[in-house]
């Protein structure tokens, strides 16, 4: 028995007429009648009562029609799902991201992706840059959004910068420098700094240290915290100041002042994936990520 036999049978059962069924199938009536007869012989039962040109389903035919619908639905549904997978329209994606990507970059990309591919299931995991790089090599995530420098990255990974962020100073609201209209990074040379532990965010840590050194000083790090929200909280408590990517300005805090430092260098957020990735759903996400990532001007406007 072939699937076409089931389709022939369903066509006749729905039309209750061999001629009309043959027309619907774009074939002539005699071959259709022969195929139905062969199907009945293979099953060892009659599917239709034939009275001249009039036909009706037998009891067995009614049961077989129900099963034929079920089989064809599963086959057609399976084919459709396979085609959707091939086009990247369904599937599952595991995405890693650093905290700062969650403020503006990642929401913009996720919104755009879900509009185009609503049936793709997404799992999002907050991870440090180093954790993401390891997870990509071990195939525990599909795409990462992190801050990296070239010498940190395995050659099997592809890095594509999607957003370049300037830095901002984070000061306690009552700090004298927070009362100024403008601020230069070198003015923070004598301050106590709250930064990320080097081992948890090597690229961003390097960028911040380099920015400070280019301003003529090495920051005196007296407190460390992994999350930007924690760093902001510690600044609010008066334990020091910080230098962070400008995206942190999306975290309003009554006891903190953010001051832009456009001349203090920048840090890039990159989209990273494994070079061997062939899954269509990953390729579609990468494409949408490129298209939906906010450009620097629009990103800066939202932080004003």
Give yes or no for a contact between 257 and 178, defined as CB atoms under 8 angstroms apart. yes
pLDDT tens digits for range 113-171? 999 999 899 999 999 888 898 999 998 999 999 987 655 667 889 889 999 889 999 99
- How much is the pLDDT for 304? 44
- In angstroms, the Cα distances linking 101 to 48, 82, 163 are 65, 33, 9
The alpha-helical segments, DSSP class H, found in the chain are 3-15, 18-24, 29-43, 59-86, 105-116, 129-137, 202-214, 228-236, 280-292, 296-302
DSSP state of 294: P
Of 177, 243, 239, 236, whose CA–CA distance to 206 is shortest?
A: 243
CA 109, 115, 116, 119 torsion-angle sign:
positive
Mean pLDDT of 263-271: 87
Q: Is the pLDDT of residue 278 over 70?
A: no
- Grade residue 71 by pLDDT with cuts at 50, 70 and 90: confident
What is the C-alpha to C-alpha distance for residues 142 and 272, in angstroms, rounded to an integer?
9
pLDDT tens digits for range 29-64? 888 888 888 888 888 888 888 887 788 888 888 888
Domains and CATH numbers, the chain: 3-86 (1.10.10.10), 94-304 (3.40.190.290)
Pick the residue with more confidence: 76 or 235?
235
- How much is the pLDDT for 106? 92
- How much is the pLDDT for 112? 94
Q: What is the mean pLDDT of the chain?
A: 86
């Amino acid at each position: 028995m072939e699937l076409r036999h089931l389709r022939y049978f369903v066509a006749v059962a729905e039309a209750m007429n061999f001629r009309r069924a043959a027309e619907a199938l774009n074939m002539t009536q005699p071959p259709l009648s022969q195929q139905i007869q062969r199907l009945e012989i293979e099953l060892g039962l009659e599917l239709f009562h034939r009275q001249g040109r009039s036909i009706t389903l037998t009891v067995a035919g009614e049961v077989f029609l129900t099963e034929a619908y079920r089989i064809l639905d599963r086959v057609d549904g399976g084919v459709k799902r396979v085609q959707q997978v091939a086009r990247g329209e369904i599937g599952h994606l595991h995405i890693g991201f650093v905290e700062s990507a969650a403020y503006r970059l990642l929401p913009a990309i996720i919104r755009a992706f879900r509009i185009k591919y609503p049936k793709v299931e997404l799992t999002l995991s907050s991870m440090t840059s180093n954790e993401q790089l390891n997870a990509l090599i071990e195939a525990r995530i599909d795409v990462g959004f992190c801050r990296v420098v070239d010498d940190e990255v395995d050659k099997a990974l592809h890095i594509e910068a999607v957003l370049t962020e300037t830095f901002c100073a984070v000061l306690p609201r009552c700090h004298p420098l927070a009362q100024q209209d403008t601020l230069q990074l070198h003015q923070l040379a004598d301050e106590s700094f709250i930064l990320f532990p080097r081992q948890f965010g090597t690229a961003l840590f390097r960028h911040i240290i380099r920015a400070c050194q280019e301003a003529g000083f090495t920051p005196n790090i007296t407190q460390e915290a992994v999350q930007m929200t924690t760093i902001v909280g510690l600044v609010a408590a008066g334990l020091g100041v910080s230098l962070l990517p400008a995206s942190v300005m999306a975290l309003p805090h009554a006891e903190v002042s953010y001051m832009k430092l456009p001349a203090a260098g920048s840090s890039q957020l990159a989209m990273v994936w494994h070079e061997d990735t062939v899954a269509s759903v990953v390729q579609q996400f990468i494409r949408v990520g490129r298209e939906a990532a906010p450009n620097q001007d629009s990103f800066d406007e939202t932080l004003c």
